[in-house]
Structure 1
Amino acid sequence: MKNIEQILKESLENHELPYDEAAWESLSKRLDGSTPSPFYRKWWVAASVGTVLVGSALFFTLNSQSESSKNTKETTPVITQNTTTPQTGSQTENRLNTTNNANPQTNTHQSEEHLNPGTQSTPIDHTNYQNTEVTQVAQNSKDASSQKSGANQNNIPFTVKNTQNENNGPKEVAYLPVILDQTNLCIGDEIEITNPNETLPISVIQNNRTQIIKAGSKRTFTANSEGVIEVVSGKNTQTITVNKPSDKLYISADQTILYNDGVPSIEFNVSGAENAVQWSVEKYHSEVQNGNLIVHPYIGKEITVKATSKDLNGCTVSETKTISIKEEYNLQAANSFNINSSDSRNNKFMPYALTERNTAFELTILDAKSGRVLYKTNDASNGWDGTDMQTGSLAQVNSTYIWRVMMKNPLPGEPKVYNGTIVLLNN
């Protein structure tokens, strides 16, 4: 921009007032010594003052516009993002070197494009502007020598220091997969599920119901219906299949007690199982022979057994059966005997099971009225014939007596003492 003084000087030099004959005659008269008219004197003074005022106003107006344009351009920063490796000293400065141009748009374009070699200029993401540090590395040049040389006051170089990590976006949280002990369950089975994540919950979906397991916690779930259980940990979904048992067991038994060597036994068998069967029974001693269950009912009149197996899917199948026995085991002892019978098994008293079993025992006969001991033996072949051992005479006929057997080595589940009553007959 030209200096204001030069502009005024050129304006005044080229200015020429129009020729006025009357004014020229008036000026000639004054030169000849005549007195000028007061009107023309006032006009000359006013014209001079007006010229000075107009020139001053024009000067201050142009000067104010120039200073305003210069300040606007000097305070407008050009922000660039340094995507190269930070360096020290003058190497970290991105200086803009552009030529002066009267068009502001051209200057702005040049200030953004003309960077030092080796430095790229990329737009700054304003959404992350708080993470970008902008440093001005050149001072505003206000000295007269820069202004005279026509340097562009807009071109103030900046350097951009990126303080973010390489990945500015949010980190995707990684879920740990759940370790399942089983992926196939059967109805009624239980499974414990543990959440391996330290801060994140997981969900378990069963029967269209979602249950949450907190971070680091565990819960036990029961498979109560056929279908699928989903275990969701983030984007990782695992499934547990719940199967319904496919087999059906059937238990059968004869309610008649069988005596093997004087020991009571009832046999149970099962059908419908694809795999081996496990048996169980309460209160009674039992053993398995050829897949069948042998129960020894020493006491009681009801027996409840349970058979359990696995189907082809590994599901547990079971069946329970209860039977009532017709008689209670009491060493197969008779309730009377006749001392005059020709049958050796009936003319003496000895519980029949003791004659079949090879076991140690002691038999005692007591008077029901007085409790006095009438007879005692540990020999299964030497039964009581009705004689009172203390008097050597026959005990009272048609009377009831008490017998008691003490087992020296009872079998598993067998009681140690048996007892009952016997009637002495003499017909």
Structure 2
Amino acid sequence: MKVAVVTASRAEYGLLLPLLHRLKNDPFFTLQLIVTGMHLSHEFGLTYKEIEKDGFTIQKKIEMVLSSDTPTGIAKSMGLATISASECFEELKPDILILLGDRYEILSFASAAVVARIPIAHIHGGELTEGLIDDPFRHAITKMSYLHFCAMETYKKRIIQMGEEPNRVHVVGALGLDTIYSMDFLNQNELEEKLGIRFKSQNAIVTFHPVTLEDQSAEKQFSELLKAIETLDDTFIVFTKPNSDTDGRIIIDMIDRFVGRFPERSAGFTSLGQKNYLSLMNFVDLVIGNSSSGLLEAPYFRKPTINIGDRQTGRFKPESVIDCLPECESILSAIKKSKSPEFKAVLKSFKNPLGDGKATDRIISHLKVTSLQTKKKFFDLT
């Protein structure tokens, strides 16, 4: 079976990694890896090189990122990606296309695959992020897809609610947890050496992305976050910079200025790499921002997540997540709560419901027995 897999960002690649290894090593499959988006951008670290270092052969590199994060620039990137994807599919002729998530790059490839009559398997459908333009993208990809691999029963019900037949929707768990269950993490000394930093008594990861369905909110909201963490004198802050979303460069510039002001207690990274990132999450005391990793990966480590604003509104939130407004006082209040004895007791006792590290096994099993096609019936709820 020729299986094409598309990756357009470092975060998405990290989630796909265990599945890619299985597809590469199982003789039942021929892996066709398509790399695009930020992986090929100098500005975002040319992370396709990390993919090659992991031992993967990249069948196609598809340039699509223009030097703009405006709505017009992103729409043009989507158009360019759709054109290039159609040419790629004509050459590779995959039996199935695997897509993960909800980004605009992925929507472009889904559109081209539908026209080329290539069945799509979609991972992480049925979720909600009501503060993002990615939300309608995700649901559109779901409707274009034939197979669905979702993380929870709640998400399966939503996919069926959109008219997808129940026998094509499979709960497999959160794919990103597979890597965490099997990883040997770096210790503090190794992290400090690799990242060129020195930790303090308290340490935190900050990942904040623009809320793309709100007008001109990036600078204002991130300013409130910076105002809050500036007061945390005992905490070393590791910023992971945002993706190529609308207004992403505003946040990148603000991170660079903050690190320039406080070089002894902060550092910013375009791409940490998966092992460094997960090892860092294992080590730090707190995860702050509005990234999905605070809801998916951080709970595995029993780390408190300060979830800011409504970017993740609608997504399932484990007990380790504390919601707050994108305002300085609200953020500081949430941080204070995360340090309370009561909340620490919650962290010790709760169980992560998002997966058991076996999502890859389940996906592989379904792929091997599924009769691939693009025709499907609309499933009406009675």
For the aligned pair, the TM-score class normalised by the smaller chain equals under 0.3
Structure having the higher helix fraction is: 2
Q: Which structure has the larger Rg? A: 1
TM-score normalised by the chain length of structure 2:
0.17
Q: TM-score, normalised by structure 1?
A: 0.15
Tell me: higher relative CO, structure 1 or 2? Use CA pairs within 8 A at least 6 residues apart. 2
